[in-house]
Amino acid sequence: MKSASTPDEDSTDDCQGQLKGTPKCPLRNMPVRVKGLIKRRLAANARERRRMQGLNTAFDSLRKVVPQWGEDKKLSKYETLQMALSYIMALNRILSEAERYSDGEDWSTLQHYEQLQQDHCQDYLGFGSPDACDRFLTEPFSH
DNA sequence: TAGGCCATCTGGTCCT
DNA sequence: AGGACCAGATGGCCTA
């Protein structure tokens, strides 16, 4: 998946890590000032890698709690954010409706509740057909 | 083979 | 000064 060479994690030893197009041990015979600059760059690269890995870990966590069926293909980052947004809005709406109906007597009927779920599933999660919603509401999430 | 997605590198900017 | 964050560039992998 990745393209560039993978420098050794975190190490800033003279002969560890490497820059594109440079010999095996790029820092040998270099002025101390240049050495310092290169070391800082490599350290910054390592920090950036760790930061992005943290971000990806967060995306993975989000994927686990966001609806996802057809587990053959994982959501892209963009899709994950979009689905999370829709999901939160749908849950929020359901919660609001629940509060609104909690005063009345109708809410206790399971049929009404299920209809509400169906409606919001279609509205907020972008399912065109009731069948797709059915699958969403009945299939367990991927976690 | 083109297009989508991704990891990584890099330089700039802001903050501590 | 050094770390965190960001966005652009680059190139690899995968799928239609």
What pLDDT, on the 0 to 100 scale, is given for residue A16?
A: 40
Q: How confident is the model at residue A104 (pLDDT cuts 50, 70, 90)?
A: low
Which positions of chain B lie under 7 Å from any protein Cβ? 4-12
Q: Nearest nt (C1') to A22 (CA)?
A: B9
Average pLDDT, chain A: 69
Distance A138 CA to B5 C1' (A): 30
Higher pLDDT, A107 or A16: A107
Q: Nearest nt (C1') to A6 (CA)?
A: B8
Percentage of chain A lying above the pLDDT 90 cut: 8
Flag whether the pTM goes above 0.75: no
Decide: CB of A2 under 7 A of nucleic strand C. yes
What pLDDT, on the 0 to 100 scale, is given for residue A96?
A: 92
Q: Per residue, what are the HEC states of chain A?
A: CCCCCCCCCCCCCCCCCCCCCCCCCCCCCCCHHHHHHHHHHHHHHHHHHHHHHHHHHHHHHHHHHCCCCCCCCCCCHHHHHHHHHHHHHHHHHHHHHHHHHCCCCHHHCHHHHHHHHHHHHHHHCCCCCHHHHHHHHHCCCCC
Decide: CB of A43 under 7 A of nucleic strand C. yes
pLDDT digits (tens, 9 = 90+) for A13-25: 444 444 433 444 5
Decide: CB of A33 under 7 A of nucleic strand C. no
pLDDT digits (tens, 9 = 90+) for A61-102: 898 898 876 656 888 888 899 889 999 999 999 999 988 887
What pLDDT, on the 0 to 100 scale, is given for residue A92?
A: 93
What pLDDT, on the 0 to 100 scale, is given for residue A51?
A: 87
